[in-house]
Amino acid sequence: MPNTKSAKKELRKTVKRTRRNKRVKKNIHTLIKKMEKAVKEGNNETAQELLKQIQSALDKAAKKNIIKKNTASRKKSRLSKKIKKAASK
């Protein structure tokens, strides 16, 4: 438990940031799941639209240091590779 006034404020800030970060990560995870489902069902148009949303969300998260830049790049690369593979079938 924090004792000083500044430590209490820091705890409030940390809790607020943690909530925001979890919300952003959960949103990305949900979009990825939707895209994978669309690919599995063969709905390439929906998957392409979701990929754009995912890329945007990943870039924003990386910009705000919620996830690392290379993690965002890796995820974007792997997801676009999945869509290309599904489209070629």
* Domains, the chain, with CATH or none: 5-88 (1.20.58.110)
**Helix 44-63 and helix 5-41, axial crossing angle in degrees, nearest 10:** 160
Using the Cα atoms of residue 7, residue 23, residue 64 and residue 71 in order, give the sign of their dihedral.
positive
**What backbone phi and psi angles, to 5 degrees, belong to 9?**
-65, -40
User: What's the pTM value of the predicted model, to 2 decimals?
Assistant: 0.88
Is the pLDDT score of 11 beyond 80?
yes
Among 80, 36, 79, 28, CA closest to 57: 28
pLDDT of residue 62: 97
Tens digit of each residue's pLDDT (9 = 90 or more) over 19-78: 999 999 999 999 999 999 999 999 999 999 999 999 999 999 999 999 999 999 999 999
What is the model's pLDDT at position 88? 85
Q: Whole-angstrom Cα distance, residue 78 to residue 54? A: 12
Residue 8 above 90 pLDDT?
A: yes
Q: What is the pLDDT of residue 89?
A: 73
